[in-house]
Amino acid sequence: YQSLHTTVFKGPNTRFVPLDIHIRTKSMHKIAEEGIAVDVFSSDPESGGVVSDSNWRERITLWLRSIREYCHEFSDSSRDLVDAVRYDLLGNRVFVFTPKGRIVDLPKDSTPVDVAYRIHSEVGHRMIGSHVNGRTVGLDHKLQNADLVEIMTDPSAPGPSLDWLDFAKTRTARSKIRKLLREKERGSQMEAGRRILKESARTRLEPVPSDAGIREILPSIQGTVNGKTLRNVDDLYVALSGSAVIDGGNSELEPMVLDLLRDRRAKVFRNSSKSATWTDNGLQEKKTLLDLEHEEVVPSLATCCRPVRGDKVKAVRSVHSPNSLTIHRAECSGLEKVEAEGSALVEEFDWNNADDIDFCAVQAVIEAKDSVGLLAAVSSCITELGKPIVKSASSSYATGYATLAYEFLVEDIDALTLVLESLRGMEGIDSVRRKGDPTTPSVDQAQDVDDKAKALLDDESIWTEEL
């Protein structure tokens, strides 16, 4: 019942007769005159009521009739009436409150997990605990009537586990938990399948398979796998995570996929080598492989010269892996060897074709006077510039000098230049070189520094892994 009440007195001429004034809205008046359940039974949309189905009306009618019968039966004892309604009519249900005053109707023995999923699926998925009547309780706590339940959530919560199915009592909560667990399991299977295929390709000395390539050869895989049809790349990864065998035969899925990808690369390379265009003077000119827009190019950075964005570079394409490019610095000595052997094609390369490469790993060799804290000071100089250190190593000599080797990540040539110039400005630093860079006053000196650092750079056991 809601209403604004006030009483006024007209004055001495009317002998101060009181006038009672009630102010309320149309819906407030309707509830006050006809009862709080009037909207449940209203079938007139203009009245503001809820149009309810006949089953709901019937259940409400029977429930209210039972209340009336209990009132007649226990008219002599109000305590007996309350106990009868609580245990007989409400015995299989639990009504709890949220901090915002919402009433949640749940089955008996429900837990905070049921409340969370009744509010919203995301609330349940991000749930990390609960408070009942201001007290921290476990997820398996059985709720009672009139409990005040507060759900604690965290965006980084790991989500429900299989144990939650033992806590949840409502079908809605159990269904939502099972659905999320299935999605998590499928995601784990996809990652496992992708990793298995990647490792197998490396074992066969083949390029890492791309989703685009797999999508193209997918129609060539005939039949079903483990009783299921492969509809997309994700289904294939899931199948690879188990012992995937083509139904109706003894063929294993993993080698079949790699063989189809190998045939696809060979076909693309043959078509690429035959493709040609005619110039204005009538001469036939072959297209470069980078002009083949239908083929996905997978560029990688060479470890011999370690190019960074902004360097003048060239691309090396293997005859056996035409869709795989290795990017070298233009002055890299390895390019001459490749061209002499004829085992690969050397092409021009534009950094705009390597949008997926955000950071490049470079190595720097530092000659300095040996002193206490030298390694820490140099490391601090690099990290303070915001460049993550991947590896570091150092070696001291009897001459009082030390050679330090660092591998760190940079975005482009400007960022690399800033790091190198900052290192050169440190006290006690004699020289700072980018490994493999011949641009020093003395080529012999550069070779000598590279020889000293070779043991540091080649011996993986002495590298210090940086987090």
The CATH number of whichever domain residue 400 belongs to comes to: 3.30.70.260
Same domain, 260 and 211: yes
The CATH number of whichever domain residue 119 belongs to comes to: 3.10.20.30
Query: Which residue type is seen at 409?
Result: L
Same domain, 74 and 137: no
Looking at residue 321, what is its pLDDT? 65
Residue 290 belongs to a domain: no
Residue 202 belongs to a domain: yes
Domains held by the chain: number: 5
Smallest CA-to-CA distance from 364 within 400, 392, 402, 329 is with 392
3-state SS assignment for residue 265: helix
Same domain, 437 and 370: yes
Same domain, 126 and 35: no
Same domain, 382 and 458: yes
Residue 6 belongs to a domain: no
Residue 176 belongs to a domain: no
Choose the final residue of a domain: 89, 115, 133: 89
pTM over 0.75: no
3-state SS assignment for residue 114: helix
> To the nearest whole percent, how much of the chain has pLDDT over 90?
10
Looking at residue 72, what is its pLDDT? 73
Same domain, 424 and 452: yes
Same domain, 368 and 343: no
Tell me the H-state helices in 279-361.
Answer: 334-341
Choose the final residue of a domain: 136, 169, 202: 169
Where the chain has pLDDT below 50, the residues are: 45-53, 247, 249, 272-294, 439-447, 449-450, 460-467
Residue 7 belongs to a domain: no
Residue 3 belongs to a domain: no
Looking at residue 45, what is its pLDDT? 46
The answer to whether 62 and 37 have CB atoms below 8 angstroms apart is: no
Looking at residue 275, what is its pLDDT? 41
Q: Domain residues for 264? A: 183-270
Residue 73 belongs to a domain: yes
The answer to whether 303 and 286 have CB atoms below 8 angstroms apart is: no
Looking at residue 63, what is its pLDDT? 66
